[in-house]
Amino acid sequence: MELSTPGRICLFGEHQDYLGLPVIPMAISLRARFIGENRSDRKFLINKPDLNEVDSFSLDDLTYTKPRDYFKSGVRVCLNEGLTFSNGFECELTSEIPMKAGTGSSSAITVSWIHFLSQMADEPADWDQRKIGSLAYTAEVVEFNEPGGMMDQYSTALGDLIYIESEPEISIKSLKPNLGTFVLGDSCEPKDTMGILQRCGDSRLAIVEKIKSQNPDFSLHEIGLDEISQYNLYTDETTLLSETIRNRDLLRQALLELKKADPDHEKIGHLLSEHHTILRDVLKVSTPKIETMLDAAMNAGALGGKINGSGGGGCMFAYIPQNPEKVVEAIEKTGGKAYIIHSEAGTRID
């Protein structure tokens, strides 16, 4: 059995989904590949030649032995869904997706793993991509009670460009604009994903709770910028809330454009850069190297761009619908690693 799953970038809604606000991610043309076959015993062996590592465990002991023990949690989630396995598997995992860089690499692997398990069970499951994405979210976030939304799991499972609402219930809509190419730039700087998610999330969730103590009907979906002054907030809290609302509204503007078959490319680029400005100046998740890479991309003709993922390192991307080669060259001159990318299909059997 061989299958693959794409990575993803977040166009709009970065650092918003765990607040219950919408997000627009795009699956990208860099993929994780999973090849596996049955073993005669009950052992799981996952070879990771890119990292020179091997994960191994037994079907008879699925106790978590490390943080984010996703291969075991994936098996447990599948067992909870009624799948059975009479034997283990030997697998090889390779990936084109930058690792630990904000491009959904871990979710692409978890989605691939659950997709693989669904097909290799004693009685294979006929799960659609949405179901696989939902189970990957359970395996990664729910099982370990970690911060984070469901963007990565659904985006990599479903593929292409999608609009995700998580409140009042999960709603996913496919968008089909002719966007052309992007350039992904990996700064090769390590980042503290969980620490940044907690810092950026906890501070704003605390503001929401503070306001709800004054107004139980408060909603981030409905409040306008002109309504913030009615609440008793400190100056820094007012800034965080207002810029969260601005990011919400930037997504709404972008959504109107992305619903078109032929969107205004320059407008999309401008909105991306506006989104990045808030991420940089208010949430403070950018780095000097990311800024250098973005400046280089813009000087080489990109229409816009932003940091991607939780931030504090990792990747940025630039929007350049045509002739992206000059942007690739500019990013690599700053010491980043650049990839030309476009929208890509979701998890699939190859």
Instruction: Express each pLDDT in 154-165 by its tens digit.
Output: 999 999 999 999
Q: Region 243-263: what's the mean pLDDT? A: 97
In this predicted structure, the answer to whether residue 148 has a pLDDT above a threshold of 80 is no
Closest to 143 measured CA to CA, from 258, 63, 240: 63
Q: What is the pTM of this model?
A: 0.95
Helices within the chain (DSSP H only): 70-80, 105-120, 129-137, 151-158, 193-214, 235-258, 265-281, 288-299, 325-333
Task: Note the pLDDT of residue 195.
Answer: 84
Would you state the pLDDT for residue 193?
80
Percentage with pLDDT > 70 across the chain = 99
- pLDDT of 88-124, one tens digit each? 999 999 999 999 899 999 999 999 999 999 999 999 9
**Which pLDDT value is given to residue 122?**
98
pLDDT tens per residue across span 23-70: 999 999 999 999 999 999 999 999 999 999 999 999 999 999 998 999
Q: Is residue 294 within 8 Å of residue 305, measured between CB atoms?
A: yes
Beta strands at 89-95 and 182-186: parallel, antiparallel or unpaired = unpaired
pLDDT at 147 exceeding the cut of 80: no
Q: Given a cut of 90, is residue 244 above it in pLDDT? A: yes
The verdict on whether omega for the bond into residue 216 sits within 30 degrees of 0, i.e. cis, is no
Strand partners, 89: 38
pLDDT at 149 over 80: no
Q: Other CB atoms closer than 10 Å to residue 213's CB: what's the count?
A: 11
What's the chain's average pLDDT? 96
Q: Please report which confidence band the pLDDT of residue 218 belongs to, taking 50, 70 and 90 as the band edges.
A: very high
* Paired strand residues for 54: 47
**pLDDT for residue 263:** 97
Q: Which residues pair with 257 in a beta bridge?
A: none
Q: Do 182-341 and 2-176 have the same topology in CATH?
A: no
pLDDT in tens, 285-304: 999 999 999 999 999 999 99
With CA atoms as reference, report the closest residue to 20 among 227, 207, 202, 221: 221
Is the domain spanning 2-176 CATH 3.40.50.300? The answer is no
CATH topology of domain 182-341: Alpha-Beta Plaits (3.30.70)
Count of beta carbons in the 10 Å neighbourhood of residue 264: 12
The count of other CB atoms within 10 Å of the CB of residue 81 is 16
pLDDT at 299: 98
- 50 CB neighbour count, 10 Å cutoff: 13
For residues 166-191, give the mean pLDDT: 95
pLDDT at 73 over 90: yes
The pLDDT confidence band at residue 335, using thresholds 50, 70 and 90, is: very high
Separation of alpha carbons 286 and 288, rounded Å: 7
Residues forming a β-bridge with 243: none
Confidence category of residue 192, pLDDT binned at 50, 70, 90: confident
What is the structure's pLDDT at 340? Answer: 98
State what percent of residues in the chain have pLDDT above 90. 92
Q: What is the pLDDT of residue 168?
A: 87
DSSP helix, strand, coil percent of the chain (3-state; round to 5): 40, 25, 35
How large is the average pLDDT for residues 202-218?
94
CB burial class (10 A; 0-12, 13-18, 19+) of residue 40?
exposed
Helix (H) or strand (E) holding 8: strand 2-12
**What does the alpha-carbon distance between residue 299 and residue 5 come to, in Å, rounded to a whole number?**
33
Side by side, the strands of the sheet bearing 304-308 are: 304-308, 315-319, 182-186, 337-341
The residues spanned by each domain of the chain are 2-176, 182-341
